[in-house]
């Protein structure tokens, strides 16, 4: 009985220590584990021109302008916004009011030049009829 009990405590102790170590490492690396910065974080961090990073947020309603291959739009986190230009083909899910992640850098004028655009979708799944009914009844999820 005693050796079993000892092995069990040894195991639980090691796992506990390992858990704490992992938590500390992940907290320390927090800044490197985020995949993108929101417009608010971009403003807070004072990211200078020519540093490549990813910008993420929602495509602001009514902000998309297309001139051939060139697209201009605004990324918002409902607090701050960043203007973005992109030349290329957009993913299918790129829409106003939808999540987007752009990789590129800020120009001296504060406009973000994207080299790659990824669409981010939310966790809601439903058939089109349900989406339509929700929109008509005004119960549509608020933009997240």
Q: Is 121 annotated as a binding residue?
A: yes
List the one residue from 28, 93, 111, 143 that touches other proteins (CB under 8 A).
Answer: 93
What value, to the nearest 5°, has the Cα angle with vertex 36 and ends 65 and 56?
A: 25
Q: Is 86 annotated as a binding residue?
A: no
Cβ proximity of 88 and 69 under 8 Å: yes
Contact call for residue 64 and other proteins (CB under 8 A)? no
Q: Whole-angstrom Cα distance, residue 38 to residue 142?
A: 19
Contact call for residue 34 and other proteins (CB under 8 A)? yes
Contact call for residue 138 and other proteins (CB under 8 A)? no
Contact call for residue 83 and other proteins (CB under 8 A)? no
List the one residue from 53, 96, 101, 113 that touches other proteins (CB under 8 A).
Answer: 101
Q: Whole-angstrom Cα distance, residue 42 to residue 58?
A: 14
* DSSP at 76: E
Contact call for residue 73 and other proteins (CB under 8 A)? no
Residues annotated as binding site for heme?
Answer: 121, 125
């Amino acid at each position: 009985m005693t050796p079993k009990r000892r092995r069990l405590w040894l195991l639980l102790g090691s796992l506990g220590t390992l858990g704490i170590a992992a938590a500390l490492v992940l907290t320390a690396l927090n800044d490197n584990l985020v995949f993108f910065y929101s417009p608010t974080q971009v403003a807070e961090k004072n990211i200078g021109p020519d540093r490549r990073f990813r910008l993420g947020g929602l495509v602001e309603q009514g902000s998309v302008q297309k001139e051939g291959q060139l697209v201009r739009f605004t990324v918002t986190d409902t607090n701050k916004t960043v203007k973005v230009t992109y030349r290329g083909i957009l993913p299918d899910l790129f829409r106003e009011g939808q999540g987007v992640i752009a990789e590129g850098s800020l120009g001296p004028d504060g406009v973000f030049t994207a080299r790659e655009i990824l669409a981010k979708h939310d966790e809601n799944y439903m058939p089109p009829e349900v989406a339509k009914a929700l929109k008509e009844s005004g119960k549509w999820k608020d933009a997240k």
